[in-house]
Amino acid sequence: MQYDFNADEVFAMAEQIEKNGGVFYRQAAAAMADADAKAFLNDLAAMEDDHEKTFKAMRAGLSEQEKSGTVFDPNNEAMQYLKALADTKVFFEKPMDTSSLKEILKAAITAEKDSIVFYLGMRDAVAAKLGKERIDAIIKEEMGHIRQLSAKLVAIK
């Protein structure tokens, strides 16, 4: 059975992924001895917080149609499923090499790429009338993360 998600559900997932990203960067910052690296990672965590707020605002601006359910779901199982996906597919708990900023940046870039792939798949699962085009805004934000992380990685080589 095909399940079409709506933009509201995907934005809720985006908020969770950004929240997880903030935790990732804060844990990485806590492991760093270098003050500049620690500050950079804390700045990234703050950026994740800002993106979470951005997605929350974008979600609040959705039309009723973009928020409408696509199937009967009285127990909100679809949202629970999406939250589980967000928690296990992007910025999930895994061993992290915190020995250097370079290794942390590599892990962060991989997580951001995973999020883009995930959103590209979700974009295909959102019907046009349910806000499919809004998913592109999430993807664009994530691509910005990769550009910033890559620039920092190149700078420290």
- Output the CA torsion sign for 122, 111, 153, 49: positive
126 is a domain residue:
yes
1 is a domain residue:
no
- The total domain count for the chain is 1
**CATH number reported for the structural domain that contains residue 146 in this entry:** 1.20.1260.10
- Give the contacts of 9 (CB within 8 A, at least 6 positions apart): 78, 79, 82
pLDDT under 70: residue ranges of the chain: 1-5, 66-96, 125-127, 129-131, 157
Tens of pLDDT along 37-62? 899 999 989 988 988 888 788 788 87
52 is a domain residue:
yes
Are the CB atoms for 82 and 9 separated by under 8 Å? yes
Tokens of 94: 């895994």
69 is a domain residue:
no
**Residue 1's pLDDT is what?**
38
2 is a domain residue:
no
70 is a domain residue:
no
Tokens of 88: 């296990």
Burial label for 66, CB within 10 Å (0-12, 13-18, 19+), is buried
The range of the structural domain enclosing residue 137 comes to 7-63+75-156
For residues 51, 19, 77, 128, the Cα torsion angle rounded to the nearest 10 degrees is 20
Three-state SS across 115-145? HHHHHHHHHHHECHHHCHHHHHHHHHHHHHH
